[in-house]
């Protein structure tokens, strides 16, 4: 129904992007400022962190997106612009600078920041390099923009798909960053999604929440919900499909493509969690309700003890039952089965809430892979959910023992 393509946020018609080093980060080989611009005005919605301590850019973006319209996204790394007394003023001035150079209204710009909390953000690098950033804009600029938003990320997270609506070719493109302070409660650290689909503001606002709840909000790296989480979806309508104005077949089709993109990004963020060596996928089956399935999946994927066991490739399923037990979900312990699965095979380790005889050797083989699936069958209903996470490693401790210096 849809196929993977190249081009990231520039895959949809009418989008350009750029990423440069402007001097916020000390390391000159690291880009630290990114821009995404649409040729025409977009319908645009964002989801934000539910952390009560929010980055200044989030307040400014919320203001700018009240009318659900935007033309550009500007984002820096190396400084979160959070807990700074003049943070909102700085975020405002970044939009002013960018708007002036682009000849668009500052209110039509989405602004985001990621990096250390509580260090003053100077406007100087933005003043000195805004024209460089804009001169670098290109329909091939998605990779640069993706690099400009990375912090401790080790791989780029960039995806795009092509699909059809009413015979019109449509696209969705996206870039994201993750790594640490990842336990999104609304969206993840930063994800920017572009599309040339025509969709009403109302439907855009619906679809973004439906999709984020099942994707980014089901990822955990370390249980710490960041202050700057934000996902922004811009749709410029240049695909010329008939505008989506209700939850019809076309809405469902667009939602499926968006769900696919956001699932890819979520998995990529989990797999590239700080210090991670393994992607963990927790599938909870046959739950009473979707909510119960989600609670169980997220509790298991968040357990430090389970995460450390997965790093050690130890089939310590008791820690899974323990994490299910301290969650708020509704289930019958006596019915729970647990399997581990990877490319090397599948093994049952717990049946009816108790131990099931298994070969430790075979289990260790299965857990030696870098993508592990934990399958929890509650045998208690028809709903299911998936959560993504990663193992807890020496490197997570190393990276976070000395992040600022």
Task: Provide the annotated active-site residues.
Answer: 188
Counting contacts by CB under 8 A, is residue 396 touching a second copy?
yes
User: CB of 378 within 8 A of CB of 331?
Assistant: yes
Q: What is the residue whose two structure tokens read 């927790």? A: 282
Q: List the beta strands (DSSP E) in 247-334.
A: 279-287
Among residues 14, 23, 312, 381, the one that binds a second copy under rule CB under 8 A: 312
Nearer to a second copy, 105 or 314 (CB): 314
Counting contacts by CB under 8 A, is residue 375 touching a second copy?
no
Among residues 193, 231, 264, 309, the one that binds a second copy under rule CB under 8 A: 309
User: CB of 236 within 8 A of CB of 14?
Assistant: yes
User: CB of 211 within 8 A of CB of 203?
Assistant: no
Counting contacts by CB under 8 A, is residue 281 touching a second copy?
no
Other beta carbons within 10 angstroms of residue 127's beta carbon come to 13
Nearer to a second copy, 225 or 236 (CB): 225
Question: Shortest gap between Cβ of 312 and a second copy (angstroms)?
Answer: 3
Question: Shortest gap between Cβ of 124 and a second copy (angstroms)?
Answer: 18
Site for a second copy in 316-335 (CB under 8 A): 316-319, 321-326, 333
- Residues annotated in a binding site for substrate: 151, 177, 188, 274, 400, 405
Q: What is the residue whose two structure tokens read 């640490």? A: 180
Site for a second copy in 337-366 (CB under 8 A): 350, 352-355
Query: What is the C-alpha to C-alpha distance for residues 46 and 309, in angstroms, rounded to an integer?
Result: 36
Counting contacts by CB under 8 A, is residue 401 touching a second copy?
yes
Which of 193, 186, 177, 161 shows the shortest CA–CA distance to 73? 193
User: CB of 242 within 8 A of CB of 166?
Assistant: yes
Question: Shortest gap between Cβ of 399 and a second copy (angstroms)?
Answer: 8
User: CB of 149 within 8 A of CB of 178?
Assistant: no
Q: What is the residue whose two structure tokens read 């089901």? A: 218
Cα-based angle 106, 110, 112 (whole degrees, multiple of 5): 120
Counting contacts by CB under 8 A, is residue 89 touching a second copy?
no
Nearer to a second copy, 255 or 319 (CB): 319
Site for a second copy in 137-196 (CB under 8 A): 180-181, 183, 185
Question: Shortest gap between Cβ of 88 and a second copy (angstroms)?
Answer: 12
Selected range binding a second copy among 63-71, 192-200, 222-230, 289-297, rule: CB under 8 A: 222-230
Work out the burial of residue 359: count CB atoms within 10 Å of its CB; fewer than 13 is exposed, 13-18 middle, 19 or more buried. Answer: exposed
User: Which residues are paired to 282 by β-bridges?
Assistant: 374, 387
Contacts of 288 (CB under 8 A, 6+ apart): 330, 331, 378, 380, 381, 383
Counting contacts by CB under 8 A, is residue 48 touching a second copy?
no
Which of 385, 345, 374, 176 shows the shortest CA–CA distance to 278? 374
Among residues 305, 344, 375, 381, the one that binds a second copy under rule CB under 8 A: 305
Selected range binding a second copy among 21-29, 48-56, 139-147, 158-166, rule: CB under 8 A: 48-56
Q: Considering CB under 8 A, how many residues would be counted as binding a second copy?
A: 63
Q: What are the residues binding a second copy (CB under 8 A)?
A: 50-54, 80, 82-85, 116-120, 180-181, 183, 185, 222-227, 302-305, 308-309, 311-312, 314, 316-319, 321-326, 333, 350, 352-355, 392-394, 396-405
């Amino acid at each position: 129904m849809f196929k993977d393509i190249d081009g990231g946020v520039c895959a949809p018609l009418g989008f350009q992007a750029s990423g440069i080093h402007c001097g916020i980060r000390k390391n000159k080989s690291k880009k630290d400022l990114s821009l995404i611009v649409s040729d025409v005005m977009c319908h645009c919605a964002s989801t934000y962190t539910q952390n009560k301590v929010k980055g200044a850019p989030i307040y400014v973006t919320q203001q700018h997106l009240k009318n659900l319209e935007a033309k550009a996204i500007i984002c820096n790394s190396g400084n979160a612009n959070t807990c700074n007394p003049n943070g909102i003023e700085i975020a405002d001035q970044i939009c002013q600078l960018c708007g002036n150079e682009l000849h668009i209204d500052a209110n039509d710009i989405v602004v985001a920041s990621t990096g250390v909390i509580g260090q003053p953000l100077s406007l100087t690098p933005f003043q000195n390099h805004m024209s460089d950033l804009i001169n670098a804009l290109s329909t091939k600029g998605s990779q640069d923009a993706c690099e400009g938003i990375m912090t401790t990320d080790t791989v780029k997270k960039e995806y795009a798909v092509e699909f059809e609506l009413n015979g019109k070719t449509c696209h969705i493109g996206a870039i994201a960053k993750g790594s640490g302070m990842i336990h999104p409660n609304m969206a993840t650290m930063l994800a920017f999604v572009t599309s040339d689909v025509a969709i009403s503001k109302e439907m855009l606002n619906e679809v973004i929440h439906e999709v984020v709840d099942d994707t980014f909000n089901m990822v955990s790296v370390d249980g710490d919900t960041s202050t700057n989480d934000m996902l922004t979806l811009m749709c410029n309508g240049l695909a010329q499909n008939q505008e989506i104005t209700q939850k019809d077949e076309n809405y469902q089709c667009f939602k499926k493509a968006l769900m696919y993109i956001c699932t890819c990004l979520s998995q990529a963020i989990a797999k590239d969690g700080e210090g991670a060596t393994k992607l963990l996928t927790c599938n909870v089956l046959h739950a009473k309700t979707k909510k119960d399935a989600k609670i169980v999946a997220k509790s298991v994927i968040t357990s430090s003890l389970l995460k450390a066991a997965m790093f050690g490739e130890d089939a310590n399923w008791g820690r899974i039952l323990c994490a299910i037990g301290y969650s708020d979900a509704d289930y019958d312990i006596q019915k729970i089965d647990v399997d581990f699965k990877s490319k090397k095979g599948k093994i049952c380790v717990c049946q009816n809430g108790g131990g099931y005889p298994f070969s430790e050797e075979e289990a260790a083989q299965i857990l030696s892979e870098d993508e592990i699936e934990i399958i929890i069958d509650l045998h208690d209903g028809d709903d299911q959910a998936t959560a993504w996470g990663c193992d807890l490693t020496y490197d997570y401790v190393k990276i976070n023992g000395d992040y600022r210096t």
